[in-house]
Amino acid sequence: MTRLVTHDLAVRPTRDELAAQDFTSSLRGHVLNHMAATMKARFETEIAPRLPEPPADGRAVHAAIRPDPYFRFYSALRVGAQEMVWASVNAAVDRDAPRLAETARALAATGGGQLTLDPTLQVPRNVAAIDVHHMPGSYAAEAGADDLTAGATYENGLSVFSFGLMGRNLDDIGESSAFWLRHRHPEFAPAAILDLGCSVGHQTLPWKRAYPDAHVTGIDVAAPCLRYAHGRAQSLGVDADFVQANATALPWPDASFDLVYSSMFLHELPLKDIKAVFAEIRRVLKPGGLMLHYELPPNNQLSAYDGFYLDWDCWYNNEPYYKGYRDQDPATLCAEAGFAPDGYFQTVVPSLAWYGEAAVAAALQGPAQIGGNTGRLADGVQWFVYGSWA
């Protein structure tokens, strides 16, 4: 699966490493498709009927299912597969680190987008103090001024992790989001676009492809991811700027952007930072601008079981802020940041990579409903997108 990384910063795994990656991807596909379906059926037919009352929420489902041997087997395999994701790419990344740094330096000299790092920036504890989703060193660990191995680990790991569901360039969320926006609001022509928590820029570059005249900027706190993002973008021939900054304190004046986007970002923040980020987005958006997030669907719009299922990552995958975010109501977060309540919208965008353009365009004509595969990395995934107009 790592063969999805095909640009100039691609690492060169051995055949044994590729076999380990393919095995890990297949194992994850099996756990997240087949075993997840069996576990749900088992809960509905064997565990729930014996409960004194229907579980009120995901926490109650978790308490009821925790002693079940099948749940334990599922969880053990899923945790093991998560650790195998990183183990299957680490050696190749470490071996290729000097070549990657040299290639990134050469790519940076080719012009195009700018990379702006801030060596004084304090990496926040939600990134620095934990190995987020068990990724060794998390996003920001670095061994020197030109180190980009955390970015390489993240991209190659994501390729294994997502077992083919994230599109050709691992950019399906950005591609699907931009496709939705262009179809739903063809009159909207953003000139300045900001992607928050962009990591290696997977979901940043689709915005430049969708709006070629726009100035596109991705920000992140993690310098090694941004170095990699910049080299990756240059290699793929897409001009985007990458800036090291904390999204809770954006280094731009008021009313600087037409579109502020994020993907898979908010659920990795403590609640106080989520609120600070929303306030900052409101501040830097121009009047008539758009805030758009791809995120996991909120607990208050899911069944108790589906809420439990998504919160699994909080309990077992080193994602301590996951549930705190998912327990929020997105419309309330927007309103609290000063967005007018009637500017709020949410929708479900089928994955472009899975369904294809014609099917997605047709689906966007109908009502958008959260279903069992919304925000869930499994076959037929659909993305939950929401936001507000300024």
Instruction: Kindly state the helix (H) or strand (E) to which residue 243 belongs, with its residue range.
Output: strand 241-244
Stretch that binds ligand SAM, among 185-193, 245-253, 280-288, 324-332 (CB under 6 A): 245-253
Binder among 225, 238, 290, 370 for ligand SAM (CB under 6 A): 225
Residues 155-184 that bind ligand SAM (CB under 6 A): 173
| 264 touches ligand SAM by CB under 6 A | yes
CA distances for 279 relative to 193, 276, 284, angstroms = 17, 5, 9
Q: Is 314 near ligand SAM (CB under 6 A)? A: no
Q: Is 126 in the site for ligand SAM (CB under 6 A)?
A: yes
Across 213-236, b (16+ Cβ under 10 Å) vs e yields ebbbbbbbbbbbbbbbbbbbbbbb
Q: Which two tokens stand for residue 151?
A: 């970015």
Residue 273 is a binding residue for ligand SAM (CB under 6 A) = yes
**Shortest distance, position 203 Cβ to ligand SAM, whole Å:** 4
Closer residue to ligand SAM, CB minimum distance, 258 or 313 = 313
Residue with tokens 């930072």: 273
Is 248 an interacting residue with respect to ligand SAM (CB under 6 A)? yes
The structure tokens listed for 68 are 């079940």
Please identify, among the stretches 34-42, 70-78, 195-203, 356-364, the one whose residues bind ligand SAM according to the rule CB under 6 A.
195-203
Cα 221 from Cα 247, distance rounded (Å): 8
Structure tokens at 277: 């980020």
Report the residue from 202, 208, 227, 282 that binds ligand SAM according to the rule CB under 6 A.
202
Kindly state the number of chain residues that form the binding site for ligand SAM, as judged by CB under 6 A: 24
Q: Does 268 bind ligand SAM (CB under 6 A)?
A: yes
Does 263 interact with ligand SAM (rule: CB under 6 A)? Answer: yes
Task: Name the minimum Å distance from CB 65 to ligand SAM.
Answer: 27
SS3 220: strand
Torsion of CA 107, 174, 189, 185, to 10 degrees: 170
Tokens in use for 114? 């700018």
Which residues 6+ apart lie within 8 Å of 333 measured at CB?
274, 275, 278
DSSP string, 265-288: -GGGS-HHHHHHHHHHHHHHEEEE
CA atoms within a 13 Å half-sphere pointing along the CA-CB vector of 382: 19
Residue 280 as a binder of ligand SAM (CB under 6 A): the answer is no
Closest separation between CB of residue 269 and ligand SAM, Å? 6
Contact between 124 and ligand SAM by CB under 6 A: the answer reads yes
- Interface with ligand SAM (CB under 6 A), residue from 43, 71, 74, 139: 139
Residue with tokens 């500017």: 343
Q: Quick count: other Cβ atoms within 10 Å of Cβ 317?
A: 16
* CB of residue 363 to ligand SAM, shortest distance in Å: 22
Q: Which is nearer to ligand SAM, 225 or 259 (CB)?
A: 225
246 belongs to the binding site for ligand SAM (CB under 6 A): yes
Of 220, 241, 311, 313, the one binding ligand SAM (CB under 6 A) is 220
Task: Name the residue with the smallest CB distance to ligand SAM.
Answer: 197
State both tokens at 334.
């927007």
341 closest CA partner among 306, 378, 388: 388
Identity of the residue, 97 or 194, whose beta carbon is nearer to ligand SAM in the bound complex: 194
Q: Which residues bind ligand SAM (CB under 6 A)?
A: 124, 126-127, 139, 173, 197-199, 202-203, 219-222, 225, 246-248, 263-265, 268-269, 273
